[in-house]
Amino acid sequence: MSRSEAIIDRLHALHPKLIDLSLGRLQRLLAALGHPERRLPPVIHVAGTNGKGSTCAFLRAIAEAAGQRVHVYTSPHLLRFHERIRLAGTLVSEEALTEALEEVERVNAGEPITVFEVTTAVALLLFSRVPADLLLLEVGLGGRYDATNVVDHPVACAITSISMDHMEYLGDSLAGIAAEKAGILKRGSPAATGLQAPEALMVLEAEAARVGTHLAVRNQDWTVHWNEAGLRYADPGGVMELPRPALPGAHQADNAGIAIAALRGWSPPWLTEAAIAAGLTTATWPARLQRLHGALAALLPEGWELWLDGGHNAGGGHALAEHLPDWADRPRHLVVGMKQGKASGDFLAPLLPLAESLWAVAEPGQHLAMPVDAIIEASGGRARPGPHVEDALRAIAAAGGPPGRVLICGSLYLAGEVLKADGTVLV
């Protein structure tokens, strides 16, 4: 175990006995640290249920294509905690992370606080000390009371697709969840959102009007469409014919469009059509329809493909279901492992008709893995037990048949274990 991991484990003991979504604990800690949240480069704040990470990936790639130095804060990580904090383009080093964790732990002085609040304080402290031109701040949970919402004046906000998830904290209605996401909207900070259910969009627009900011809505204020060459984006500022994004999936048009609309709402001097085009083609984000080529992929016969996606809720299931028809030229096999407490039936429902076979798995190191039997039950008995990813892949290979595509999905925690087993290194 590294020093940083040991400190994070120790901080779990400070977790409040009762969870209340609030900013008070973190605001106290940031004040004791000298308010690093007030010494940041321009911030773009990103909330939503699905697509936050992909939208941040597009934002980062576009800004870096324009020569900008970009900080990024995302969660959760897949292999190492360090993935959550990117300093001016580079993942935080073990030395820098450990020193910042030790400083924040010392200043907190044993007061009750959540680990996410501590790590957000660590990230903000590091972001305040390393020069950069832009900070992309991804919400961890919700928005209104998320630890990242201590930033008062973002230059832009983005809200990606909203669906039912984390209902135990955010409420059991789409409107209620949208209200929490809308909590990142700030007066004078232009905002953008993509396709939303009507009940969610109504809440977002009402909150934008209440705080006094403009919310650029897809198909009202901007549009994005697929064409043979890639994407056609249009807003009152003009029309752009753009290349196909590097991130696969029909849903990535929405995420790319949100990133572009948020940037054009802010309108920094470095933003050009050339930078946008270059950013779309260079964006990377692991475990989002990522093709694997390592040890796990080698278990499949020659000519087969192995893919990985972290989709894990109803919205993620529908996004994958929109993509799978593009793979209709080959048999499609799904290997699914989920986290306890997730609505597995809602995730699986749109996927079941599209799969040649379905396998339920739970990896030994997978955090809070849903039992295999529960996934099989949620599939209506359609799924077969892996019970582990390697077992499922070997069984698919042994069954023979024409070359197919295998998609492993259902949980970001599963995705981390899969990347580890496949031998992937994230940089």
How confident is the model at residue 418, as a pLDDT? 98
Rounded Cα distance between 113 and 341, Å, is 24
Copy the structure tokens of residue 259: 């990133």
Task: Give the CATH number of the domain where residue 323 resides.
Answer: 3.90.190.20
Of 229, 248, 282, the residue that ends a domain is 282
Long-range contacts formed by 74-77: CB under 8 A, 24+ apart:
74/136, 74/138, 75/116, 75/138, 75/140, 76/412, 76/413, 77/416
Domain end among 266, 282, 298 = 282
Asked if 257 and 224 touch (Cβ cutoff 8 Å), the reply is yes
Which pLDDT score, from 0 to 100, does residue 14 have?
Answer: 84
What pLDDT is attached to residue 169? 63
169 shares its domain with 254:
yes
Indicate whether 102 and 182 sit together in one domain.
yes
In this structure, the answer to whether residues 278 and 294 fall within a common structural domain is: no
Write out the residue range of the structural domain in which residue 277 sits. 3-282
Please report, as a single letter, which amino acid is at residue 29.
L
The tally of domains found in the chain comes to: 2
Claim to verify: residue 94 and residue 179 sit in the same structural domain = yes
Question: Are 261 and 161 in a shared domain?
Answer: yes
Same domain, yes or no: 119 and 136:
yes
Cα 321 from Cα 311, distance rounded (Å) = 11
Answer yes or no: do 210 and 268 share one domain. Answer: yes
Is residue 184 situated within a structural domain? Answer: yes
Peptide bond into 331 cis (omega under 30): no
Within-domain flag for 68? yes
Final residue in a domain of this structure, among 282, 314, 347: 282
Decide: 344 and 378 in contact? Cβ < 8 Å.
Answer: yes
Does 256 map to a domain? yes
Residue 122: both structure tokens together: 């660590």
- In this structure, is residue 370 part of a structural domain? yes
Tell me the torsion sign for CA atoms 160, 163, 169, 173: positive
Distance CA 239, CA 268 (A): 18
Q: What is the pLDDT of residue 167?
A: 60
Closest CA to 258 of 227, 226, 219: 219
- Please indicate, yes or no, if residue 267 is contained in any of the structural domains: yes
The pLDDT value recorded for residue 109 is 95
Residues 39 and 179 in one domain: yes
pLDDT tens digit at each of 427 positions of the chain: 899 999 998 988 887 755 667 899 999 999 999 999 999 999 999 999 999 999 999 999 999 999 999 999 999 999 999 999 999 999 999 999 999 999 999 999 999 999 999 999 999 999 999 999 999 999 998 999 999 999 999 999 999 999 876 566 677 799 999 999 999 999 999 999 999 999 999 999 999 999 999 999 999 999 999 999 999 999 999 999 999 999 999 999 999 999 999 999 999 999 999 999 999 999 999 999 999 999 999 999 999 999 999 999 999 999 999 999 999 999 999 999 999 988 899 999 999 999 999 999 999 999 999 999 999 999 999 999 999 999 999 999 999 999 999 999 999 999 999 999 999 889 8
Indicate if 77 and 157 belong to the same structural domain. yes
What pLDDT shows up at residue 1?
83
pLDDT confidence of residue 11? 84
Give the domain CATH number at 163.
Answer: 3.40.1190.10
In a domain, 72, yes or no: yes
Whether residue 76 has a cis bond before it, omega within 30° of 0: yes
- The answer on 256 and 358 residing in a single domain is no
Residues 294 and 278 in one domain: no
Q: What is the DSSP letter of 245?
A: P
The reported pLDDT for the residue numbered 407 is: 98
Task: Identify whether 115 is part of a domain.
Answer: yes
Domain membership flag for residue 427 = no
260 & 350 share domain = no
